Amino acid sequence: GKSILGVLSLAAAKGSTIKVVTRGDDSESAMDEIGALIESGFGEGV
């Protein structure tokens, strides 16, 4: 999908492995932002 909501709705358990692919002119910044979201625990204080 093309939405972060698709990633959020995966309901992947802690420790799960997922593969994220970005494409397009802004793919590098999109991947950086997705990585930051994951590292921050999606703002849930994990």
| CA atoms within a 13 Å half-sphere pointing along the CA-CB vector of 23 | 2
Tell me how far apart the alpha carbons of residues 9 and 20 are, in angstroms, rounded to a whole number. Answer: 14
pLDDT for the residue 26: 93
pLDDT in tens, 1-46: 567 677 677 777 878 888 888 999 999 999 999 889 888 887 876 5
pLDDT for the residue 12: 77
Q: Residue 27 corresponds to which amino acid?
A: S
